[in-house]
Chains A and B, each alone.
Chain A
């Protein structure tokens, strides 16, 4: 049987409507030129008004407190405070980048491209998802900082006592006095030999039994993963129920907008609200941050 090789039917735009076209010179080139000039002037002005920060010379013996990564990584640093380091620092960003890359292969329809918020419910969808991301993240951060319980105590005299300590922070769930963990729960062996792949440097050594600490696994990996994956699915499911999400595109809008909300809130909290010892503080109590005039 003959096999017919067919070239991929690319989704080409409809034939050009010449009447709808304008010349790149001058209509586009001038817009580009003006925006480039505008940015040049603005950046000159900014550079004139605000000096790039320069603290004391690097010294490995004097720890900066708070020691912060560059601001665009502070979202990850904020995540690190709430969950397992590998999950926050590696798994979450890697998975998110893969999800981003997969976007166009998941949503293959050619509908609604080239227009802002072309789909019916996309504006509502975006605004609500963004806000859920923003304020949901804030609520979780405040809960896990123990601040909410402190405020409840200060303002209303309410104290949950040790049995309700998990209301103050998720880490309390590890405590046997809060959750009656059986004795073996924190040392379930899973490897009877030392895994020596690339095992070198400080901290590397002989381990004879590799064990799972179930309470830690639950608090540092289970609960955060549950929140991140569960909340995203729940939000999309809810929007599907109320008919805001019909297509894959709609689901991606929910996911992306929620992500932007989470990303912004984590970055803002990490940048402006974390002080010495990574405690939550008000921005005006925070010192030695970059970009403040006169602080060189």
Chain B
């Protein structure tokens, strides 16, 4: 009777073994590729980045047409904007004398500077559009209904924060487009009865768009609002899990 003999390892097997089964690799990734259901659940539950997810999810929720990944993509834009934003911060100084020159420098003298600036701008627009579409998705699938009422409220706050993040970034290039857009935008805020002029003054640090407005917008744009948004996002994601995952028919 023929007994199946173990085959000799091929060269590919040896290279794979050397690459992924060595001591250093194992110290980072404790298991190999998760190819059993048990390991796949373990990797989701124990990985710091993946444990935002549950280990199992209802079949209908992985269908792309259910969510179109809109919420996730909005978060992905936020991450991308953080990365490109940090790179731009290396070269940009928020002073009236330097801001415009720095942007020109980024575009002409910095390796991949123009690309980074373009990415930052288009991602910012994409984030505004995606967050709006995400709100429409949640509304038209009735996903704001109990027990998810409060997470809808957190979402509305995040929508406003996204607009504010984009608005504060708009001034930073310090060109005519930025200057007049912020002048018009803050005039809208200034039109409020009683509190309007004071709000505008607080926003701009003066009566018109100038050096004080630039530093305020910069500080809000790079630290104040992202920090606030990150806190609300943490609550938003946490509540998705606490409220029983994505909404589905009862």
**What separation, in Å, do the CA atoms of A12 and B247 have in the docked complex?**
10
Q: Which of A40-48, A149-157, A170-178, A237-245 contacts B (4 or more CB under 8 A)?
A: A40-48
**What separation, in Å, do the CA atoms of A263 and B116 have in the docked complex?**
31
Say how far B1's CB is from chain A's closest CB, in angstroms: 40
Report the tally of A-B residue pairs with Cβ distances under 8 A.
266
Which of chain B's residues have a CB closer than 8 A to the CB of A39?
73, 76-77, 126
A side interface size, CB within 8 A: 91
* Residues in A233-266 with C-beta less than 8 Å from chain B: 249, 252-253, 256, 260
Q: Which of B10-18, B19-27, B117-125, B217-225 contacts A (4 or more CB under 8 A)?
A: B117-125
**What separation, in Å, do the CA atoms of A35 and B126 have in the docked complex?**
14
Please name the residue on chain B nearest to A87 by beta carbon: B191
Which of chain B's residues have a CB closer than 8 A to the CB of A40?
80
**What does the 1/0 interface line of A113-129 toward B look like (CB < 8 Å)?**
11111100010001000
Task: Determine whether the beta carbon of B177 is less than 8 Å from that of A72.
Answer: no
Say how far B49's CB is from chain A's closest CB, in angstroms: 10
* Residues in A89-130 with C-beta less than 8 Å from chain B: 89-90, 97, 100-101, 103-105, 107-118, 122, 126
Say how far A15's CB is from chain B's closest CB, in angstroms: 11
Q: Given A23-B37, A69-B188, are A58 and B179 also a contact pair (CB < 8 Å)?
A: yes
Which of chain B's residues have a CB closer than 8 A to the CB of A86?
191-193, 196
**What separation, in Å, do the CA atoms of A73 and B188 have in the docked complex?**
9
Which of chain B's residues have a CB closer than 8 A to the CB of A51?
107, 114, 118
* Residues in B58-112 with C-beta less than 8 Å from chain A: 58-62, 64-66, 69, 72-73, 76-77, 80, 96, 100, 103-104, 107
**What does the 1/0 interface line of B29-63 toward A look like (CB < 8 Å)?**
00000100100110110000010011111111110
Task: Determine whether the beta carbon of A11 is less than 8 Å from that of B146.
Answer: yes
Partner of A35, one of B56, B73, B153, B185: B73
**What separation, in Å, do the CA atoms of A257 and B249 have in the docked complex?**
22
Partner of A77, one of B125, B163, B184: B184
Which of chain B's residues have a CB closer than 8 A to the CB of A69?
181, 184-185, 188
**What does the 1/0 interface line of A71-90 toward B look like (CB < 8 Å)?**
11100110010000110111
**What separation, in Å, do the CA atoms of A249 and B144 have in the docked complex?**
11
Partner of A72, one of B96, B166, B244: B166
Task: Determine whether the beta carbon of A44 is less than 8 Å from that of B119.
Answer: yes
Partner of B247, one of A52, A113, A122: A113
Q: Does B231 contact A (CB under 8 A)?
A: no
Apart from A35-B64, A35-B69, A198-B195, 6 more pairs, CB < 8 Å: A28-B61, A68-B181, A72-B128, A89-B192, A114-B246, A115-B142
**A-B pairs with beta carbons under 8 Å apart, 18 shown:** A10-B147, A26-B40, A28-B62, A39-B73, A57-B100, A60-B208, A67-B184, A77-B184, A80-B188, A85-B188, A89-B189, A90-B189, A104-B152, A110-B145, A113-B142, A113-B143, A115-B142, A195-B194
Q: Which residues of A are in contact with B by a Cβ distance under 8 Å?
A: 10-14, 18, 20-29, 31-32, 35-36, 39-40, 43-44, 46-48, 50-60, 62-64, 67-73, 76-77, 80, 85-86, 88-90, 97, 100-101, 103-105, 107-118, 122, 126, 195, 197-198, 200-204, 249, 252-253, 256, 260, 288, 290
